[in-house]
């Protein structure tokens, strides 16, 4: 069985939660006076400075060290301790989700990290794949997605494109497009927008926005919000850690057991924190297993009490 080191925090960090009410994101939320108003209105928000800039840039350095450790052309050879779980446990990141759900008992997805290198000339042309990460037949606010941005991210630095306000039109859209043939998907929790769907969004006043952010900013979006990513066209790399949390009360015991299995195998999940889908550690290139494989992290996670709870394991009931 896989193990992790659990470190008791020296002192608890208390982060106040203002206007304690769970967000519905259905047009009936109160005025919060912060980024939650943007999320309710636009379907996305930027939480400025969720992680202090100096610490965010240090995490970025560790991301570079990780990719260098594969020996694929980088040669600093300075592998660092695990940084992904440190980011997942950052108070400013976790607290944002606590505010949305009005709940401190959360679990986190075992989602991916993203390297978007600038000045790449060997990549095929990028074709947008606008989509929403939610089953159209299960409407309403069900999941809040997020990513922590680690480097300056301007208009030409690649990253997240969102369709402002599309979350609020999701049910109307799917009612109107009910008879359209769907783009094939590997899960019901994904819907791709066709050319006809894109026209509908435009005809209904939706605007596509390139989200810009600084080091340490947290980007949030409703899973109903149409979105996609674009590569960098400037000289700045893009480094991001995907972070998504949900109340553990919304996960079943079967979900938590499945999540524990993913943790023990050190495999990732999608953005759904209840481990709706889990992945594999087999790296692929051109449809074939790549020569360099790792079935364990470069440095295994060192968890404190808070981050261990985020795995969901402490909430599994004894038989």
**Predicted confidence (pLDDT) per residue in 40-72, tens digit:** 999 999 999 999 999 999 999 999 888 777 765
Q: Tell me the C-alpha distance between 76 and 69, whole Å.
A: 8
Lowest mean pLDDT among 31-35, 82-86, 131-135: 82-86
* Strands 159-164 and 227-230, sheet pairing: antiparallel
One-character DSSP codes across 274-311: T-SSB-----EETTEE-S---SS-SS--EEEHHHHHHT
pLDDT in tens, 9-33: 333 333 344 568 999 999 999 999 9
Rounded CA separation 18/34 (Å): 10
Specify the number of domains making up the chain.
1
The pLDDT of residue 131 is above 90: yes
211-241 confidence digits (pLDDT tens): 999 999 999 999 999 999 998 888 999 999 9
Instruction: Kindly report the CATH number assigned to the domain that includes residue 192.
Output: 2.60.120.620
Residues with Cβ within 8 Å of 251's Cβ and at least 6 positions away in sequence, in order, are 107, 259, 273, 274, 312, 315
In a domain, 289, yes or no: no
Indicate the pLDDT class of residue 3, thresholds 50, 70 and 90: very low
Of 264, 41, 222, the residue nearest 134 (C-alpha): 222
Length of the chain: 319
Q: How many CA atoms lie within 13 A of 255 on its CB side?
A: 19
Query: What are the pLDDT digits (tens) for 160-176?
Result: 999 999 999 999 999 99
Rounded Cα–Cα distance for residues 210 and 87 (Å): 24
Whether 51 is in a domain gets the answer yes
69 within domain boundaries: yes
| Residue 21 backbone zone (phi > 0: left; psi -120 to 50: alpha; other: beta) | beta
Q: Is residue 75 included in any domain, yes or no?
A: yes
For the stretch 245-301, pLDDT in tens is 999 999 999 999 999 999 998 888 888 998 777 777 677 778 887 767 777 777 788
Would you state the pLDDT for residue 69?
76
Is 181 within the bounds of a domain? yes
Pairing relationship of beta strands 284-285 and 5-7 according to DSSP bridges = unpaired
Q: Is residue 6 part of a domain?
A: no
The span from the CA of 72 to the CA of 96, in Å, is 37
Predicted pLDDT at 17: 43
pLDDT score, position 7: 40
pLDDT (0 to 100) of residue 79:
41
pLDDT at 72 (0 to 100) = 55
Backbone angles phi, psi at 260, to 5 degrees: -60, -40
Residue 28 structural domain: 21-248
CA distance 315 to 309: 8
Q: DSSP characters for 186-213?
A: SSTT-EE--HHHHHHHHHTT-EEEE--B
Answer whether residue 75 shows pLDDT above 60: no
Angstrom distance (rounded) from CA 109 to CA 143: 11
Examine residue 146 and state whether it is found in any structural domain, yes or no.
Answer: yes
Burial degree of 80 (CB within 10 A; 0-12, 13-18, 19+): middle
| Cα separation, 245 vs 316, whole angstroms | 17
pTM as predicted: 0.87
In contact, 217 and 121? CB cutoff 8 Å: no
Q: Is 271 within a domain?
A: no
């Amino acid at each position: 069985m896989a193990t992790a080191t659990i470190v008791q925090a020296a002192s608890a960090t208390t982060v106040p939660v203002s206007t304690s009410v769970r967000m519905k994101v259905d047009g009936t939320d109160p005025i919060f006076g912060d980024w939650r108003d943007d999320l309710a209105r636009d379907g996305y928000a930027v939480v400025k400075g969720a992680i202090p800039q100096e610490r965010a840039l240090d995490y970025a350095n560790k991301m570079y060290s990780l990719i260098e450790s594969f020996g694929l052309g980088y040669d600093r050879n300075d592998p660092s301790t695990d940084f992904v779980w440190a980011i997942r446990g950052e108070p400013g990141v976790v607290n944002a989700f606590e505010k949305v759900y009005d709940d401190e008992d959360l679990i986190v997805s075992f989602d991916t990290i993203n390297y978007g290198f600038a000045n790449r000339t060997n990549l095929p042309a990028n074709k947008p794949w606008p989509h929403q990460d939610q089953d159209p037949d299960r409407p309403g606010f069900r999941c809040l997605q997020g990513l922590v941005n680690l480097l300056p991210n301007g208009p030409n630095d690649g990253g997240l494109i969102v369709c402002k306000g599309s979350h609020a039109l999701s049910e109307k859209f799917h009612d109107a497009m009910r008879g359209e043939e769907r783009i094939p998907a590997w899960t019901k929790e994904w819907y791709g927008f066709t050319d006809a769907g894109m026209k509908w969004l435009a005809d209904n006043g939706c605007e596509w926005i390139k989200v810009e952010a600084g080091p340490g900013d947290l980007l949030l979006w409703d899973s109903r919000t149409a979105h996609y990513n674009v590569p960098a066209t400037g000289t700045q790399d893009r480094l991001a850690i995907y972070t998504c949390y949900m109340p553990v009360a919304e996960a079943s015991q079967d979900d938590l057991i499945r999540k524990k299995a993913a943790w023990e195998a050190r495999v990732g999940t999608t953005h759904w924190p209840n481990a709706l889908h889990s992945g594999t550690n087999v790296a692929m290139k051109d449809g074939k297993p790549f020569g360099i494989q790792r079935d364990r992290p470069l440095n295994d996670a060192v968890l404190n009490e808070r981050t261990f709870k985020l795995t969901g394991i402490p909430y599994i009931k004894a038989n």
